[in-house]
Structure 1
């Protein structure tokens, strides 16, 4: 079963969650809410990174959707597709990019002796490292996303510094206790960003 990897976004109007989901849906919700001149500030966040994003919401709904940034292609799906096709020169469908790598001579010698050459060996090493460290990398990315969101939305709230320390110490119980008094929607979103892909302690 393939997991849904479509990027998700969340908009906050003041301390309240306005909308959450694909960027087009969130953008339209923000566009409609921002028509009220008395509305509090609205911020849209990318859930994967916790970073706020700016959108051009002028014009009609169609105009807004047409200007939205397009998500990057799913390279893993492209890899599976390309593996079923005869291999030609290069791998343009996979988005292969040539970049400089600096290694010692003994590293180049070892890589050059591997089946398929240096590029194939490096890709295999990176894929193995991603598999071996996947859980750790996901936990770190989730923590970083939660912290970025917290910094924007709760940097002035009581307990922010202590909560940040508990988050980076991966002390979930203490962290959740420290943010318990924060506005409900903000608190719930922080917990979702930081821990939704991990089991309950």
Structure 2
């Protein structure tokens, strides 16, 4: 089950599922609107904190009301977005069996499977750096921590984050160690 953390003023104030975080935050006497992040990929989750616990939880859940079905569209969560390609790319896609959508989905699926070690490392570094910028971007040592992250220098990273709040420090160090494991080929 996915885990999340809630952070307010550089302090980790809740950890758990999205539902448990909402319940923890909304049951506090002092109203808060913390930033919430996935612990897996450091992605920020936008939550509208207005209303009571049930109202906030309802907005988190995907809509279960049936949408008007369009002919030929499977109910698989297909989302229509704009794709910009050169004319030669569109011509190639038109010639593929199944058409442009099927071919693009296959290409994306294959690219996700074929991610290189370097791409995994870079993606993880960017995710952690973005998290640090949002949470402790104005804290002493942020710039040094960011540089150390991309150099994979654990000693420099630990030195840079020394003055950060304990729980934030532990979280970013654990993520740094995950990236180091990717570097070493153990993950």
Q: TM-score, normalised by structure 1?
A: 0.66
- Equivalent position of 1:23 in the other structure: 18
- Equivalent position of 2:60 in the other structure: 69
* Rounded Cα–Cα distance in structure 2 between residues aligned with 1:137 and 1:108: 27
For 1:86-165, what aligned pairs fall within 5 Å after superposition? Answer: 89-97=72-80, 99-105=82-88, 107-133=89-115, 136-165=118-147
* Rounded Cα–Cα distance in structure 1 between residues aligned with 2:97 and 2:45: 44
When structure 1 is superposed on structure 2, of 155-164 and 133-142 the one drifting more is: 133-142
Find the residue that maps to 2:85 and give its secondary structure.
coil
Deviation at 1:96, TM superposition (A): 4.8
Deviation at 1:112, TM superposition (A): 3.6
Equivalences, count: 175
The 1:54–1:111 alpha-carbon spacing in structure 2 relative to 1, beyond 3 Å, is closer
Report Cα offsets for 1:127-168 as digits up to 9, x if no partner. Answer: 211111265555444333322332233223222111111223
Structure 1, unpaired ranges of 5+ = 73-87
The 1:22–1:109 alpha-carbon spacing in structure 2 relative to 1, beyond 3 Å, is same
Relative contact order (alpha carbons < 8 A, sep ≥ 6): 1 or 2 greater? 1
Deviation at 1:14, TM superposition (A): 4.2
* Rounded Cα–Cα distance in structure 1 between residues aligned with 2:171 and 2:15: 10
Q: TM-score, normalised by structure 2?
A: 0.70
